[in-house]
Amino acid sequence: MAEVSAGKLFRRIHHLRCRERDLAAALTALPRQLASLQARHERAKKARAESADHIKHLQVTHRAKETAIKSHTGQVKKLSDQRDAASARDDFEALEREIAHARHQIATLEDEILVLLDEIDTANGKVPELEAAIVRAHTEATAFDTEMTQRKKDLEQSLTDVRRDLAERDLEVPREHVSVYTRIVAGRGPDALAPLDGLSCSACGTTQTGPDAGKVKRFAFVTCTECGCILYLSEKDEKELD
Ligand SMILES: [Zn+2]
């Protein structure tokens, strides 16, 4: 009786132990998932702030260049008046050179301003997407935070149910196998159990002896000759036996 029930029992126990591990992992992951969503929101805000700083810097540079142009233009006017009043040829030519230099500087500044305006346009064009990313990240983080409490409760409830179920199943382990079972699962958790895949242990792939595979098919207690896993018959193979 004990031998017959063992094989089926271990399939159920394996399922419960895997579920317990998954639920525990999902519970642990919740705060990390929230932190990750909140970090994304912070990164989106930072990107928007950096973009605003960049645009501001470009605008300040633009204004500085406009002011420089005004100053050079005033200079050109002043030098032109001096040149028109110059009587000596040397003075006239020196002033002509100074005027040409100032005009060249104005032209350079004007070219630089065109590039700057282009950069400002490009940066401004990216603002709506940056704003949208902030809203998106905030919405996701807030929704997750709101749902997390319930999700946590649900997971904790499922985990409690699974652990209660598992405790009941553990009590059904035949007395003569309890110590081996307890030792293996204590060290390996859900990985302590594996279905037989054909004639092989599905955990390590080792082919089992005919008598051992036969025992698994009779739902007896068998451990893998190689890795020591408790072997059980898969649901599919059990159906094929019927
Ligand atoms: Zn094995």
Given a cut of 70, whether residue 2 has pLDDT beyond it is no
11 lies in some domain: no
Three-point CA angle 169, 172, 174, nearest 5°: 140
pLDDT tens digits, residue range 30-82? 999 999 999 999 999 999 999 999 999 999 999 999 999 999 999 999 999 99
Contact call for residues 169 and 15 (beta carbons, < 8 A): no
CA of 237 to the centre of ligand 1 (A): 18
1 lies in some domain: no
CA of 208 to the centre of ligand 1 (A): 9
Contact call for residues 185 and 17 (beta carbons, < 8 A): yes
Same domain, 192 and 164: no
CA of 201 to the centre of ligand 1 (A): 5
CA of 217 to the centre of ligand 1 (A): 16
Contact call for residues 5 and 172 (beta carbons, < 8 A): yes
CA of 131 to the centre of ligand 1 (A): 55
For the entire predicted model, the pTM comes to 0.73
Q: What are phi and psi of 196, to 5 degrees?
A: -80, 130
C-alpha 92/C-alpha 57 separation (Å) is 41
- Give the domain CATH number at 92: 1.10.287.1700
CA of 176 to the centre of ligand 1 (A): 21
Given a cut of 60, whether residue 239 has pLDDT beyond it is yes
**What is residue 164's predicted lDDT score, i.e. its pLDDT?**
97
Same domain, 145 and 183: no
- Angle between helix 89-171 and helix 2-85 axes, rounded to 10 deg: 170
Average pLDDT value for the chain: 94
Going by their DSSP bridges, the two strands 200-201 and 193-197 should be labelled as antiparallel
Same domain, 51 and 132: yes
Report CA 42 to chain centroid distance, whole Å.
14
CA of 7 to the centre of ligand 1 (A): 16
Same domain, 165 and 191: no
